[in-house]
Amino acid sequence: MPVPSPTVALGSKIRVPVERAIERCVIYRDGRPVRGAYNYREALEEVRRTGEGYVWLGLYEPDERQMMLISQAYDVHELIVEDVVSARQRPKLERYGDQFFFVIRNVKYTDDAIVSDAREIIETGEVQMIVGRDFIITIRHGEKSTITGLKKRLEGDPEQCALGPSAVAWLISDVLVDDYIRIARLLSIDVDDLENEVFSPDSSFDIEQIYRLKREILEMRHAIDPLAPALRTLTANQHGLLSDQISKYFIDVLDHEISAMDQIASHDERLTSLINAGVAKISMQQNADMRRLSALVGMAAVPTMIAGIYGMNFQNMPELNTEYGYYVVLGVMALSVVAMWLLFKKNKWL
């Protein structure tokens, strides 16, 4: 499939310069950034001229034309370009000759959100990586795709960065998967709080809280669960792409990913149990409320019946002409209410 000419506007009549999509363009040698200003073409030419180091090109939501121009300079397969532009990819790994395309989703947890809040507490972004022998291109999609803590890891691990572009891919993956585990622990606190509310005696709770948190956890599962098969593929079947050392690093990331998956799956199961328990508790509360209402109606029914009988205005009714008939009737009403109250109290209807 021929690559379109750089002079052709693709997918848009407005030609936005490639530089508008570039967040970083850095040459790394011996694990450290090289000083100097290079555009995306000059950086790769410099690396290939000297035969040392590699280029890290960072992009944010490039359009089709911008990505096509970059693919020409870096000889990126056109199928990768299509996936990059369309975005919204599931975590996956695809190999194209001596390059591989790796997609991983990052997860953001809103620390100041509480479970009862209607806002989303889990939001996801997308990070794509195109890894070649002398370059790595990272593409972010979404406002929540910022990789928190990556700069600190890069500055603290120059020896790992010196291992090549695949080492940068590992560092990014490691930071994001470690964030999965951190978020899983924070979600555990939310689930524990809900369990305390549901199972505490005489506590009132909103079952919508459980549904909201379960929705957020399901979103996280959709974002992270497909990563495990991609990592297995990367570490098992991609001979020639990764060194043995980097492969071991990715195996460690896979272990952390499986741990995060297990924790999130456990939270999901606990929430399912909480929903069942919550529904059962709500049914019991409703039954108790119906018993109370029935008891109150029953206590009011006897005085109402007596008052109704004596309100029929017949001439020859008992006690009508008795001096204390009015007080006797009131006493009977009061005694009936007290007797029924004692009966309902004994049966725990009140």
Name which of 106, 328, 327 is nearest 223 in CA terms: 106
Q: Of 280, 297, 326, which one is at a domain's C-terminal end?
A: 280
User: 243 and 331 share a domain?
Assistant: no
Angle, helix 207-224 to helix 244-309, in steps of 10 degrees? 160
Rounded mean pLDDT of 219-241?
87
Name which of 267, 187, 190, 180 is nearest 226 in CA terms: 180
CATH number for the domain that contains residue 161: 3.30.460.20
Tens digit of each residue's pLDDT (9 = 90 or more) over 316-333 = 777 677 777 778 888 888
Backbone angles phi, psi at 130, to 5 degrees: -110, 115
User: 128 and 259 share a domain?
Assistant: yes
User: 51 and 178 share a domain?
Assistant: yes
Residues 173/175/177/180 CA torsion (nearest 10 deg): -150
Query: Which residue's entry shows tokens 């990768």?
Result: 80
Which domain covers residue 329, as residue numbers?
284-347
User: 315 and 258 share a domain?
Assistant: no
Strand 122-131 and strand 99-109: the pairing is antiparallel
Q: Does 128 reside within a domain?
A: yes
pLDDT of residue 252: 95
Q: Does 9 reside within a domain?
A: no
User: 171 and 249 share a domain?
Assistant: yes
User: 94 and 182 share a domain?
Assistant: yes
Residue 345 has pLDDT above 60, yes or no: yes
User: 332 and 209 share a domain?
Assistant: no
pLDDT of residue 302: 81
Q: Does 1 reside within a domain?
A: no
Q: Of 280, 295, 326, which one is at a domain's C-terminal end?
A: 280
User: 74 and 196 share a domain?
Assistant: yes
Tens digit of each residue's pLDDT (9 = 90 or more) over 233-278 = 888 866 677 888 999 999 999 999 999 999 999 999 999 988 888 8
Cβ(318)–Cβ(306) under 8 Å?
no
Cβ(163)–Cβ(246) under 8 Å?
yes
Q: Of 227, 246, 280, which one is at a domain's C-terminal end?
A: 280
- Overall domain count for the chain: 2
Q: Does 331 reside within a domain?
A: yes
Cβ(114)–Cβ(147) under 8 Å?
no
Query: Which residue's entry shows tokens 């000419």?
Result: 5
User: 303 and 242 share a domain?
Assistant: no
Q: Does 200 reside within a domain?
A: yes
CATH number for the domain that contains residue 321: 1.20.58.340
Q: Does 13 reside within a domain?
A: no
Give the residue with greater pLDDT, 129 vs 12.
129
